[in-house]
């Protein structure tokens, strides 16, 4: 199937072109995560107004979509061709802090997760071109996700987005996946 040209305002998310099936998988994954959270924990706290719930789901959608979209060839190459944008990408990812604020959760925990995730991501990014970059990223994702799950006692509606945030930045975004494919080719 022929790749779809992505409108310029969405290129930071999807790159310049996307294969239709890849685009479907990104959107399907993000919608599914939101539905799973909605059915497992219906966001029914008395202090949460409708706009907070809607904005929370949009943030969660972005986190889940990014965890998959950043693995696509087009998105990966978009940022590989624009190294300075990589640092802007890290700097603007305050999703968890906003999500925790909206859902009356500990902002300190959100700041801790965000800071450690960005630090891990920068470390992985510094290993660009190194054959162990992917393994380093996977190791940091496993350690970070485990620490979040075991030590922060988060409710599921922020635990899952927190783990996906770590995956999104540390593995999906920071690893140069095309270089790995080339490096492992026979």
Which pLDDT does position 178 carry in this prediction?
79
Which domain covers residue 46, as residue numbers? 4-183
Residue with more model confidence, 116 or 48: 116
What is the share, in percent, of the chain residues with pLDDT greater than 90? 75
| 60-110: pLDDT as tens digits | 999 999 999 999 999 999 998 998 898 999 999 999 999 999 999 999 999
| 106 Cβ neighbours under 8 A, 6+ residues apart | 100
Mean per-residue pLDDT for 36-54? 78
pTM of the model: 0.91
- Confidence category of residue 185, pLDDT binned at 50, 70, 90: very low
Percent of the chain past pLDDT 70, that is, above it, reads 92
pLDDT at 122 over 50: yes
Taking residues 53-64, report their average pLDDT.
Answer: 94
**Number of folded domains in the chain?**
1
Mean pLDDT score of the chain, rounded to an integer?
A: 91
5-13 contact pairs (CB < 8 A, 24+): 6/74, 11/78, 12/78, 12/85, 12/89, 13/65, 13/66, 13/69, 13/75
Enclosing H/E stretch for 18: strand 17-18
**Token duo for residue 114:** 């965000």
Higher pLDDT, 6 or 1: 6
Q: Is the pLDDT of residue 183 over 50?
A: no
d(CA 112, CA 183): 34
User: What integer is the mean pLDDT of 6-32?
Assistant: 93
Give the model's pLDDT for residue 70: 94
The pLDDT value recorded for residue 36 is: 92
């Amino acid at each position: 199937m022929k790749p779809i040209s992505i409108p310029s305002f969405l290129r930071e998310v999807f790159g310049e072109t996307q294969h239709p099936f890849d685009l479907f998988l990104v959107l399907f994954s993000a919608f599914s995560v939101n539905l799973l959270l909605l059915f497992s924990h219906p966001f029914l706290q008395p202090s949460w107004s409708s706009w907070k719930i809607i904005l929370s789901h949009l943030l969660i959608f972005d986190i889940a979509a990014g965890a998959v979209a950043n693995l696509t060839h087009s998105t990966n190459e978009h940022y590989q061709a624009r190294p300075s944008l990589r640092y802007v990408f890290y700097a603007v990812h305050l999703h968890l802090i906003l999500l925790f604020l909206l859902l009356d959760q500990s902002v300190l925990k959100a700041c801790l997760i965000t800071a450690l995730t960005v630090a891990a991501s920068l470390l992985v990014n510094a290993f660009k071109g190194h054959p162990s970059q992917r393994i380093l990223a996977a190791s940091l994702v496993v350690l970070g996700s485990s620490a979040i799950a075991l030590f922060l006692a988060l409710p599921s509606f922020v635990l899952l987005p927190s783990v996906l945030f770590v995956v999104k930045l540390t593995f999906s975004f920071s690893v140069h996946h095309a270089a790995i494919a080339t490096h492992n080719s026979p």
